[in-house]
Every structure is written in C-alpha cells, then in structure tokens.
Amino acid sequence: MGVEGIGARVVRKEDKRFITGKGRYVDDIKLVGMTHAHFIRSPHAHAKVKKIDSSAALKMPGVVAVLTGQQLVDDKVGNLICGWAITSKDGSPMKMGAWPAMAPETVRFVGQAVAVVIADSKNLARDAAEAVVVDYEELPAVADVHAAIKSGAPQLHPEAPGNQVYDWVIGDEGATDAAFAKAANVVKLDVTNNRLAPNAMEPRAAIADYDAAEEHFTLYTTSQNPHVARLVLSAFYNIAPEHKLRVIAPDVGGGFGSKIFIYPEEMVALWASKKVGRPVKWTGDRTEAFLTDAHGRDHVTHAEMAFDANNKITGLKVKTYANFGAYMSLFSSSVPTYLYATLLSGQYNIPAIHAEVIGVYTNTTPVDAYRGAGRPEASYLIERLMETAARQLKVDPAALRRTNFITQFPHQTPVIMAYDTGDFNASLDAAMKAIDYAGFAARKAQAKSQGKLRGIGVSCYIEACGIAPSKAVGSLGAGVGLWESAEVRVNPVGTIEILTGSHSHGQGHETTFCQLVADRLGVPISQVSIVHGDTDKVQFGMGTYGSRSAAVGLTAILKAMEKMESKAKKIAAHALEASEADIVIENGEFKVTGTDKAIAFPMVALAAYTAHNLPDGMEPGLKESAFYDPSNFTFPAGTYICELEVDPGTGKTSFVNFVAADDFGRLINPMIVEGQVHGGLVQGIGQALLEHAIYDANGQPVTASFMDYAMPRADDVPSFNLSHTTTLCPGNPLGIKGCGEAGAIGASAAVINAITDAIGKNNLEMPATPDRVWRTIHAA
Amino acid sequence: MSTVKLTVNGKAVAVDVEDRTLLVHLLRDHLNLTGTHVGCDTSQCGACVVHMDGRAVKSCTMLAGQADGANVTTIEGIAKGDELHPMQAAFRDNHGLQCGYCTPGMIMSAIDIVHRHGGQLDEATVRHELEGNICRCTGYHNIVKAVLDAAGRMKVSQAAE
C-alpha cells in the first residue's frame, strides 16, 4: 500500500470546498431570469379536490403562473411509477393506484401537492400561495396498517381493494410447519419497526431550465442517481426524450435513500419551466421534507422461531404488514420483500423459513428505501428473536448465536440468498473482547449497588449489498439492471479523469476512487479527478445506494483501468523496444522488468496523443470504458454490542460502551469506512431511542419539524469502539463488501436487547423513550 | 425595503432588502455567500450559524435588520488566505464531515465553543454544547474529535500570536 493507495487513511480531497463554504449545492445555484416555485399542499389526509381558485393569486405582484394537477393531465404528463413488480401468492400482480405529480381529483396524504405557484421570488410565491383557495371535501382517512385492512376501513384506491397492494410469500411453508410440529421449543415475538423520516440535512431542491431553441431541458437536482432520474423522467413521464434532458446532481447534502426517488417536485419544475419560459427553482423546507421525502421502515411483524432440544434453530415463520403510505414510491415494493425477507436467515443455519408480507396502503407519506432498506427490519427481527430465545431457553445470548452460526461457505439459505463468505465467530469474538463481555456480570452488580440497571445487548447482523446482479434482480421483478459504468480518460499530459456512474453525497468517492488509481499507477491522487453527477459528462450509471459504490462502481473503474493499462503497456513496450509482457507499472513509470529501462506515465500518455510512434494499427488516444455487472450480492456482516445503564427512576438510558466489529472485506480508506459506520450506528441508535414519524388516527402528521421529531444530537449518543475482521469478498476482484448501511442495520437491536436486559422485561417497542422505558419497568 | 449596513468578513456592505428578510438570506441571496446553509426553518439544526460581533448566532433566526451595524463573519471569512482556520483543518484531518451540508454551521459553532471554554473542553462538554447543531452523516464521533483537536491547535496558535 502506498501513502495514497488502497488501505491508506487519506484525508479527503473534497473537504477543502466544504470546510471553506465553497460547496455547490442545488440551492446555491442561480440562473438568469429564474422564477421560484411554491407548492400548495393538502392539509387533509384524504379529500376530494373540488375546486382550485387562483384568480386572486394571479393578480398579485410578481406572480408568473399558478399550475394545477388538471393541467398536468391535459399535457399528458405521466404518473409516478413504481419500478419493481411484485407478484402476490395467488399469482396476481401487485395492485396499485395512480400517483399524479399534483392531484387533480383526490389527495391521499397530508402534504400531497395540488397546485404550484410560480413567481419572481420565493417570498412572492409563498405570499401568492396563501391567496389560492382550494375547496376540499374531506374523506375518512386511515393511517395504521391494522386499521387499514379491517373491513369497512376507508379505501384509498379502487384498484387495491381492502387497501392491499400485495400478499407475497417466500420459503417453504410445508417444511417450516413440519419443523414447528417437531420443535422442542418455540419462541414467539411481536415487533413494530417504527416509521422514520430520513432527514438528510440538505432539503430536496430542483432547478429546471428549458431552452426553447434547442427544445432541451437542464435539471439540477438533489439526486443520488441522476441517470436513473433522466431515464424515468424521459421514459415514463413524457417530459423530454433522454437526449434532450441533462440532469445534474452537484454537491448533494446527504441522501440515505431518500434522494434515490424521482419526486413530483422535479417533474413539475421541468414541466413548468417550459410552460412559463423561464428557469424554475424549488427548494423544499424542512416541513416539506417531513411531508414528502419517502419515509422508511414501518413494519408490524409476528414471528416464531422453532428450536430443537440442542438449541439449534429448526424453523422460522414470519408475517409482516408493511405500511406503504398513500402511493407506491419508486422502489417501495422491493423493500419489504426482496430486501427484507431474503435476509431473514441472519447469520444462522435455519433449515426452513416461511415469510408472508402484506403491503398496505394508508393515508400517510409514501414509504421507500431508507439506509438499509428492509435489511434493518430483518436484522432487528432476527436479533430480537435470538435474544428472546436466549432468555426463554436460559442460555447466554452470545453462546446461542454461536451454536447456530453458519460456518461453512458458500451457504445457500432457504430464502434465495447464497452467502459467499464470512467468519461470524471472528466478529463476535472481536466485539466480546472489545467490550469485556466476561466482565459484564461484575459491572452489572456494581451498577446495581448504585441504583442503576445495567444491560448488555448483542446484535449479529448480515446484509446483502453491492446491489446487484442485473439478471438476478430482473428475474425478481426489478425494472432496471444494477450494473455500474466507468470511463478512464488519460489526458496528453498524463493527468487522469475518472468518470463514474456512482454519485457521492458524503461518501468521499473523490478520494477513495482516486486511491485505486494511485495504487495501480503510483501517481499522486492530486493528478486524478473524479467526474460524476452529470448526465452530459458520464454516459450512464445507476447511482449510489445499497452500499454499492465501492463493490460495483469501483470495480467498474478497475475494469476500465485494466483496459487503459493494457493499451498503455503496448505503447510503452513499443517505445522501449521491449516485449509487452515484460512491462511493469511502478511509481508512475512503465519499466522493463529486470532492466533500468523505463518511461514515465505522462510520456506514455503524450505518445498516445501525438501518435508519432505508436504500434502499427493502434488507434491514437488513451481512454477506456467499462460496464461491470456483479455476479452476486456481497454480504457484509458483523457484531455490535451495546452496554448501557437505565435509571429506574426516570427511564433514561445512558450509554456505557458501544463496540462494533465489522467484516466489510477489503477497505479502501479505513478513515472513511469508520465514518460511514459511525453515521450508520447513530441512525440505528436514533431509531432505537429517539426517532418516530407519528400520525394520528386521521392521518395528520404529528412530527413534521425538528421541534417534534427527535433527531439524534451529539449528547444523545456515545463515541464508538470500532474494529474490523476481514474475509475478502470472492465476488469482485477487489474483495470489497460495502460499508454504507451496516451501522443502521445492526445498531437498533443491540440497543433494545441491552435495555430489555437491563430492565428484565423482554417486550419494549422502539423508540425506547424514557417515558416508554419507565412505563415498561413499572408495568404490572 | 430598508438598507442594512454591516461588515461581512471584514468588508463594509450596504444591502437593500425587504424588511422581512432574514440574515441568512441577505448573506446567501444578496452577497452570494452560500456557505451558510438553511436546514430546518425552526432554529434547531444550526446549519446557518455565523458569528455576529464575535458570538455564534443562527442567521435563520434573526432579521437582516437586526444585524445593522454589526460585524458578521461567515464560513468564507475564517481562513487567512490559503491558511485554514485551525477548526477547519481539524475537521478535515479528523474526517469530521461527510456531505458537508452541516459543516459550516458546525465549524462556526465549534469555534465559539472553544472561545467560550478556552482549554477546558472535554468530550461531554463538547457534546452538550453541540446540541444546537444537527449532523445526519457523521454520528458526531469525528466532529467531537475534531473540536477537541482544534481546541488544542487554537491554544497553540493563540500562544504564537
């Protein structure tokens, strides 16, 4: 490893602009003649839109237009799509109602847009929005999944009777029932996985600019995947063909999944920019983020686990109700199915699994992928079950896990996934050692003498990342392939541009991707730049989510680098009058092995472009591209252990120690990997202790600002003790598994297992607020 | 409309703004100092923190008019040319930022915390003092490290001056 190569803790190249205030986010961009959009949103969870009177608003100063959902219909703008088809157990396709970008007839959640005001300034647009009168006829609404599936419940979409989107199953029901019939012990658990609001710190924003002469649109947007946005906007929404639409995602202030989706606001901004003949900017405020960014989680689950007399798991039965909100968001259908139920085997040998997932419409904000997407729900369920089982079977929770760990690889689970490699004992050992698991009993006794309830909680998570083999996801209903692309452009002076379809919105690609180049060529990373986030510069790409950018995106860069190096070696061999097979690349030079003959990389690049002395038949230039489609998912896994104290007088939880032992395969930049884990852990801890997007029974959101929704703050969370155990991923040449979501996947179960251990009661819902913990301690 | 006269990053400016204009919008929209961000609209997240007359303030929570006659420093004004402020350097060296959106407010708050506490900072104090700044990326671990590191560096650079 060089000082800037793979494995080095290189400080980030991108940081200088962020720490000096020179980052360029969408809201920082101004275009000449730009107008500002303000959306008029439904205050009702369910209502008919009877009339929209914009006459007074249109007379106000600076108002350019008031546009409504009916005009979208008239202009034949398409409805929002869901990109993953799920088939119910009876063979029927999932049942979906239409989702227009602005509602012409019916609103189905608080915050759904019905109209937009376009004005010369943001304040004038807001003022005019106050003057638009919308006449609603309120309809009965339902926010809770159980209430929504009862007979007589308010119905959201005629296409989905009973508010049911699908009733999907996976696994072998007969084999699972047989396992339960023979079980020595059965452990049962009901869990709710609380609804979360993603809350990237940068609110979503869009600027649309229509060039009438060229009939061309440019969209600046807060996107994790600008090419997918362009594809969807072109292919489904009838806005513009792909070659007439440029999508730019500049600096993006966090995503966590919520910026994968193509939302109504950017569709409307594009459409409106052509209608008004001026650029249109929309920047959401925080309440709009709470109302309209796709939420995460929101499962209600009953599960049962069967054990034999030796405490080996013999079967698992799961029934989950997933709340989708009022409309099916872009990848929503896949989250509680192929991203959730396929991980229900956890780190364990489970011979038989059967899971049923019922997707339900409610009058709430749509739910889709949020950091981890389905895998946190699976991991939380399994790790709560294991802890419950250990308590019921009266065995040590770590020992019960060890008894059931998968130790032979590859391992085919009963729910599709084939785990390629791992060492679950190694990460459990590392975490137990780091937290001094053996010494816990003495520490608990000591705490007790001071009136505190001390608990320890283990969570052994596994996830499927590197999403994903295109053929595999295609066979499961995905509407897209999930490969990645890359292009390596060597300039005549030997500097290098790497174009990638991955998108960095905090992950540090501008540094880590350069480290691969530095590692291979021995050039400093200052000679390399990463180009991403612009559909006019990068031909295509699938974007960043699912911890895929290193495992898939960086591998695509590696493939392109190999092609470039192969051509460069031919040029060097020709110049050095040597055999291509004898050329090695070291410290920025192409050398003839075993001799002192060498040519510097910039000279090779220059030779490629002067083309004065190239091998016969070789094209000039030094630029190569590659598309990489992974052969399997990757399987990051690890153990998190949390030790904490509960004050029985107040129910308040205080962290004592939190250790993480992760296996991410090869690490490119350990400093950045650790940062990803820290952030993920706090999102998992936030779910466990603080965060909950709450609706009342009528679908009114109760938590629509940071005054009401408890975001984790610095003094809510501990510092962390991290370590890594490594098994290299055999599925990609760099051996990378991915690290972006692990913390959010594994942390919440460790926290709840620790609190329930401390208080000696097994049932406790998230978020475990002091009030809830106190009530649980003192419940009869 | 009113004319607000103030000093921003050492430069005297006079800006005509609507009376309802917030300080953050004066900075972002009128002076193009877009390093100061808006993250929440309810004074919770701290992405908009700047210094006014040497104290950290949330620029989304005051009218531009309230800054009339004041000396305002934004994230763009704390480095000395190419030499980063010790807090900026510490955030970079400790990987105290990821997406960068909360970072300017974090850095401006953190400088104020060090000024108020001098060398007496510990982890618990830093965590408590950062309650008005929300970060969704870093889990705060490296931000806390950066602030403690910078507190040491600022002491050294003060001693050197």
* Token pair in block for residue A493: 């002076």
Give pLDDT, residue A251.
98
Mean pLDDT score, A661-681: 98
> Total domain count for chain B?
2
Give residues 113 to 142 of B whose Cβ lies within 8 Å of A: 123-124, 126-128, 130-131, 133-142
What is the 3-class SS of A633-667, one letter each residue?
CECCEEEEEEEEEECCCCCCEEEEEEEEEEECECC
Probe site for chain A from B18, B61, B98, B123 (most A CB atoms < 10 A): B98
Inter-chain CB proximity B92 and A12 less than 8 Å: yes
CB contact under 8 A, A706 and B88: no
When pLDDT is cut at 50, 70 and 90, the band that residue A310 belongs to is very high
**Residues of B in Cβ contact (< 8 Å) with A15:** 91-92, 97, 100
Using the beta-carbon criterion (under 8 Å), do A16 and B92 form an inter-chain contact?
A: yes
Is residue B79 less than 8 Å (CB to CB) from chain A?
Answer: yes
What's the pLDDT score for residue B161? 62
Distance of CA A18 to CAs A11, A252, B57, Å? 13, 11, 20
Helix then strand then coil, % of chain A, to nearest 5? 30, 25, 45
- Residue in A15, A201, A678 closest to B92 by CB: A15
Asked if B91 and B97 count as a contact pair (C-beta separation under 8 A), the reply is yes
The H-or-E segment that residue A771 falls in is helix A770-778
The pLDDT value recorded for residue A200 is 98
The answer to whether the A299-468+632-778 and A483-628 domains have the same CATH topology is yes
Specify the 3-state DSSP secondary structure of A300: strand
Give, as one character, the DSSP assignment of residue A10.
P
Residues B39 and B97 grouped into a single domain? no
Residues of B numbered 16-45 whose beta carbons fall under 8 angstroms of chain A's beta carbons: which are they?
A: 18, 20, 28, 33-42, 44-45
End of a domain among B35, B57, B77?
Answer: B77
B92/A22 touch (CB, cutoff 8 Å), yes or no: no
Are B21 and B47 within one domain? yes
Tell me: do B132 and B149 sit in the same domain: yes
Interface test with B, best of A17, A18, A31 (most B CBs within 10 A): A18
State the average pLDDT over residues A460-483.
91
SS3 A366: coil
Note whether B40 contacts A706, CB cutoff 8 Å.
yes
CB A663 within 8 A of CB A426: yes
Report how far residue A591's alpha carbon sits from residue A741's, in angstroms, rounded to the nearest whole number: 42
CB A614, CB A607: distance < 8 Å: yes
B103/A19 Cβ within 8 A: yes
Q: What is the pLDDT of residues B62-117, one digit of tens each?
A: 999 999 999 999 999 999 999 999 999 999 999 999 999 999 999 999 999 999 99
Q: Give domain limits for chain A.
A: 34-139+204-283, 299-468+632-778, 483-628
Give me the CATH number covering residue B121: 1.10.150.120
Q: What are phi and psi of B8, to 5 degrees?
A: -120, 120
Query: Is A561 an 8 Å CB contact of chain B?
Result: no
Instruction: Output the six-digit token pair for A743.
Output: 């913390």
Between CA B158 and CA B25 the distance in angstroms is 33
Give A 459-478 residues with CB within 8 A of chain B.
none
Task: Tell whether B102 and B60 lie within a shared domain.
Answer: no
Q: Are residues B73 and B90 in the same domain?
A: no
* CB < 8 Å from B in window 496-555 of A: 505-508
CA atoms within 13 A on the CB side of B127: 15
Q: How confident is the model at residue A652 (pLDDT cuts 50, 70, 90)?
A: very high
Question: Is the CB of B139 less than 8 angstroms away from the CB of A201?
Answer: no
Q: Which of A11, A19, A127, A196 best tests the B interface by mutation, with the highest count of B CBs <10 A? A: A19
Q: Per the CB < 8 Å rule, is A714 touching B18?
A: no
Q: Are residues B8 and B58 in the same domain?
A: yes
A328 — pLDDT class (breaks 50, 70, 90): very high
Interchain contact B100–A (C-beta under 8 A): yes
User: Is residue A479 scored above 90 in pLDDT?
Assistant: no
Residue of B nearest to A252 (CA): B99
Instruction: Residue B48: give its domain's CATH number.
Output: 3.10.20.30
Residue A238 has pLDDT above 90, yes or no: no
A68: pLDDT strictly greater than 90: yes
Full domain range(s) for residue B103:
86-160
List the one residue out of A221, A657, A397, A677 whose CA is nearest residue B138. A677
CA distance B99 to B135: 9
Both B45 and B71 in one domain: the answer is yes
> Cβ separation of B44 and A706 shorter than 8 Å?
yes
The yes or no reply on domain A483-628 and CATH 3.40.50.300 is no
- The answer to whether residue A1 scores a pLDDT higher than 60 is no
- Region of poorest pLDDT, from A282-286, A324-328, A540-544: A540-544
Multiple choice CATH, A34-139+204-283, 3.40.50.720, 3.90.1170.50, 3.20.20.70, 3.10.20.30: 3.90.1170.50
Q: Are residues B65 and B97 in the same domain?
A: no
Compute φ and ψ for B79, nearest 5 degrees. -80, 150
- Report the SS3 class of residue A15: helix
The domain boundary, picked from B26, B45, B77, lies at B77
Task: From B152, B9, B77, B113, select the one nearest A21 (Cα to Cα).
Answer: B77
Average pLDDT over residues A552-559: 96
Sheet holding A589-592, edge to edge: A583-586, A589-592, A598-600
Angstroms from A629 CA to nearest CA on chain B: 27
Interface test with A, best of B43, B84, B101 (most A CBs within 10 A): B101
Helix A397-404 vs helix A375-393: crossing angle, to nearest 10: 110
Q: Judge if B94 and B153 occupy the same domain.
A: yes
Q: Residues of A numbered 10-39 whose beta carbons fall under 8 angstroms of chain B's beta carbons: which are they?
A: 11-12, 14-25, 27-28
Residue A660: closest CA among A755, A735, A725: A725
- Please give, one letter per residue, the 3-state secondary structure of A521-538: HCCCHHHEEEECCECCCC
Verify that B27 and B45 share a domain, yes or no: yes
Neighbour-count burial of B16, counting CB atoms closer than 10 A to its CB (0-12 exposed, 13-18 middle, 19+ buried) = exposed
DSSP code of residue A772: H
For A351-388, write each residue's pLDDT tens digit. Answer: 999 999 999 999 999 999 999 999 999 999 999 999 99
Query: Mean of the pLDDT values across residues A604-623?
Result: 97
Integer Cα distance of A117 and A63 in angstroms: 7
Is there a cis peptide before residue A468, judged by omega within 30 degrees of 0?
A: yes
Percentage of chain B modeled with pLDDT above 70: 98
The rounded radius of gyration (Å) of the Cα atoms in chain B is 15
**Inter-chain CB proximity B41 and A711 less than 8 Å:** no
- Kindly report the number of other CB atoms within 10 A of residue A359's CB atom: 29
Maximal C-alpha separation, chain B: 46
Tell me: do B90 and B70 sit in the same domain: no
CA count, 13 A, side-chain hemisphere, B15: 27
By Cβ distance, the residue of B47, B88, B136 closest to A199 is B136
Same-domain pairing of B118 and B146:
yes
Test A25 with B141 for CB contact under 8 angstroms: no
Give chain A positions within 8 Å (CB) of B93.
Answer: 11
- Quote the pLDDT of residue A608: 98
Q: What is the pLDDT of residues A75-133, one digit of tens each?
A: 999 999 999 999 999 999 999 999 999 999 999 999 999 999 999 999 999 999 999 99
Residue range A754-764: mean pLDDT, rounded? 97
CATH of domain A299-468+632-778: 3.30.365.10
pLDDT-derived band at B120, boundaries 50, 70, 90: confident
CB-CB under 8 Å, A743 with B103: no
pLDDT of residue A468: 81
* Predicted local distance difference test score (pLDDT) of residue B160: 65
Taking alpha carbons only, the member of A705, A754, A766 closest to residue A387 is: A754
